[in-house]
Amino acid sequence: MRKKPGFTLVEIIIVIVIIGIISAVSWSVLGGAKKSAAVNDACNQTAAMINKTRNYALSGKDGASGSIPDSFRIKTGGPIVIYSVVSNTETQMESFSLAGGVSCNDKKLTYKVPDGSGGSNQSIVCSVGGSSRTVSVTPYTAICQ
């Protein structure tokens, strides 16, 4: 009897099982990398929005209604919202939602016109799943760490 070239059913099943194991491991690693990248982006975007708010106060930007505001305020937690404040009345100027299901803890920062003062040392944690990054806020800047 002459042997025919080819693969046995057992060999094919073993190859399919090996491919399945490799796919499962790769999928879990890539899922964690996506969350980490989303948190990193959200952290950088949050820091940028805080710095933008302070720059509005320093530059004397007109408020949302065209008036000259007393200060500018930014709120995190949910969408990030920048307000101009005139006589303790907030008027929304900009709103930004973080992508990838990332959320940051709820903070409110106020910067006074014209010198941008009023900020304090704070930490804002942005997270999704098991991945998190911290925005460190000082009176002069905000950076993602």
Does the pLDDT of residue 1 top 70, yes or no? no
Question: Cα dihedral sign for 107, 112, 117, 118?
Answer: negative
- Region of poorest pLDDT, from 23-32, 41-50, 51-60, 120-129: 23-32
- Cα distance between residue 145 and residue 41, in whole Å: 12
pTM of the model: 0.79
